[in-house]
Amino acid sequence: MATNWPTSDAVTSLAQSLAVGSSTGDRSAAGRLGLVVIVLLLVAAAGISVTTGASDASFGHVVASWLGHANAADASLTRDRIIIMDIRLPRMVLGALVGAALAVSGAILQGLFRNPLADPGLVGVSSGAGLGAVLVIVLGSALLGPLFAVAGLYALPFAAFLGGLASTFLLYGIATRRGQTAIATMLLAGIALGALAAALTGLLVYRANDTQLRDITFWSLGSLAGSDWTKVLAAGPFMALALAATPFLANGLNAMSLGEASAYHLGVPVQRLKAIAIFAVAGATGAAVAVSGGIGFVGIVVPHLLRLTIGPDHRLLLPGSALLGASFLLVADAISRSIAAPAELPIGIVTAMVGGPFFLWLLLRRRGLLGT
C-alpha cells in the first residue's frame, strides 16, 4: 500500500536537511557543566566548614602532622587533632548529608506533587518526623525496655522516618485526587498536619523528664551542634539509601511533570514510583530531622535555584540538589558558627533568613496561579 508515512531513509534526509542546530533547547550539556561547578562549590564549602569554628584549631596543622611535618609531641597538635577529627569533620559530614537529604527531599516532593512550592518543612513532613523522634526520646525506654539500649542508636532516626512517612502519606492522600494536586489544599493540609504533629509533640513534652527535655529542646533549635560520628553512623544509612534511590526516580518524575495519566501512558509504573518517592522523602527527611532538628527552606531554595540555572530535568536536578543542598547547609552552618562566635546561632535561623524572603518572592511571582 502506498503510504505517506516517512521511511527511515526519509527521516534521515529530513533530519539532515533541517537547518536548526540539533542542540537547540537541549540544556543537558549546560546542566552537566553546572554539576561540575556545584561539585567545586561543595569542595569549597567543605573547606570552609573544616576551617571555621570557635577555636583557632588549624586544619593545616593537622594535615602537616599527617605528612610528618610537625612535632608529634606538640600539645596544641593533639588538641587540634581532636577538634578537627572528632568535632569539625563529623559536623561537616553530617551537615553535608543533612543538606543533601533535605534538598533532595524537596526536589522529589515537588516532582511528586508537580508543584515547586512543596518542601518537607512547609508541608509538615519534618513535623511528623520530629514527632516520631520525640516519641522515642520520651517513651522509647518504656516501650522498648532493655532493647532500647541496643536499638537506641537507630530507634531515633527510624521513628523519625516512620513519622515522616505517615505525614507524607497523609498529605498525599489529602492533597491529591485523581493525580491532580490542589496547591492550596496541599499547603493548608501541610500546615494542619504540621500543627497537629507539633501539638502532639507538645503533649509529649509534658511527660518528659529533665534529660529528655534537653534532648527535645534540641529539635526546636534546629542545629548541627553536637554532631559526632555516632550520629553520622545512625542517620547516614537512611539518607544514603534515600539518595541512592534518586537515579531510579529521575525519569519517572520527568514524565510525571506531564501529569500522572501521561506518566502512565509513557510507561512509568506510577504507583511504584510514588511509593519509592514517599519512602525516600520520609527516610531522608526523617534522618535529617533526627540528627539536626527542623532546618527549613533548604528543600525549596536549592531545587528552585537549580531549575532556574540547569533546568528541571530530574536526572540532573536530583544529583544537583544533593550537591548544592550539601554546600548550602555547610555554608549556612559556617555562618551560624562564626557570626556570633564563640556563641553559636541555630542554623535554622540562618536558613530561614535566606529561605523566608526567597519563598515570599516565589509566592509573589506565582500570585496569579495561587488563587486558582
Partner 1 sequence: MTMLAARNLSVRLAGAKILDTVDFVAAAGEVTAIIGPNGSGKTTLLRALSGELPVAGDVALNGSDIRNLKPWQAAALRAVLPQATVLAFPFTVREVVRLGLAAGGAGVPSAMLERLPEVALERVDLAGFAGRMYQDLSGGEQQRVQLARVLCQVWTPVLDGVPCWLLLDEPVSSLDIRHQLLVMNIARDFADAGGGVVAVLHDLNLASLFADRVVVMDRGKVAANGTAAAVLVDDVLARVFGCDLRVGMLPAPGIPFVLPHAALSQNPIGRS
Q: What is the binding site for partner 1 (CB under 8 A)?
A: 1-6, 8, 11-12, 14-15, 18, 20, 22, 24-27, 110-111, 114-116, 251, 254-259, 261-262, 264-270, 307, 311-313
d(C-alpha 238, C-alpha 283), whole Å = 5
β 180-181/176-177 pair status:
antiparallel
Whole-angstrom CA distances from 73 to 64, 66, 76, 77 are: 14, 13, 9, 8
DSSP-derived letter for residue 86 is I
The end-to-end CA distance of the chain, in Å, is 51
Beta carbon nearer to partner 1, 33 or 261: 261
Beta carbon nearer to partner 1, 175 or 268: 268
Contacts of residue 332, Cβ cutoff 8 Å, sequence gap at least 6? 347, 350, 351, 354
Return the SS3 of 176.
Answer: strand
Return the SS3 of 68.
Answer: coil
Beta carbon nearer to partner 1, 30 or 204: 30
d(C-alpha 133, C-alpha 238), whole Å = 14
Output phi, psi for 54, to 5 deg.
Answer: -65, -40
d(C-alpha 126, C-alpha 98), whole Å = 12
We find the least distance from the C-beta atom of residue 191 to partner 1, in angstroms, to be 22
Beta carbon nearer to partner 1, 105 or 115: 115
Beta carbon nearer to partner 1, 22 or 209: 22
Beta carbon nearer to partner 1, 2 or 73: 2
We find the least distance from the C-beta atom of residue 372 to partner 1, in angstroms, to be 11
Residue 141 host element (H or E): helix 125-144
Strand ranges (E), the chain? 176-177, 180-181
Return the SS3 of 271.
Answer: helix
Beta carbon nearer to partner 1, 256 or 335: 256
Beta carbon nearer to partner 1, 62 or 250: 250
Return the SS3 of 53.
Answer: coil
Instruction: Please name which of 57, 189, 54 lies closest in space to residue 127, comparing C-alpha atoms.
Output: 189
We find the least distance from the C-beta atom of residue 351 to partner 1, in angstroms, to be 23
Q: Cell for 175?
A: 492533597
We find the least distance from the C-beta atom of residue 120 to partner 1, in angstroms, to be 18
We find the least distance from the C-beta atom of residue 361 to partner 1, in angstroms, to be 16
We find the least distance from the C-beta atom of residue 171 to partner 1, in angstroms, to be 17
We find the least distance from the C-beta atom of residue 233 to partner 1, in angstroms, to be 36
We find the least distance from the C-beta atom of residue 315 to partner 1, in angstroms, to be 10
Instruction: Please name which of 168, 144, 120 lies closest in space to residue 300, comparing C-alpha atoms.
Output: 120
Whole-angstrom CA distances from 175 to 73, 167, 201, 226, 312 are: 63, 12, 24, 37, 23
We find the least distance from the C-beta atom of residue 295 to partner 1, in angstroms, to be 25
We find the least distance from the C-beta atom of residue 172 to partner 1, in angstroms, to be 15
Beta carbon nearer to partner 1, 232 or 255: 255
Beta carbon nearer to partner 1, 129 or 278: 278
Instruction: Please name which of 351, 353, 220 lies closest in space to residue 297, comparing C-alpha atoms.
Output: 351
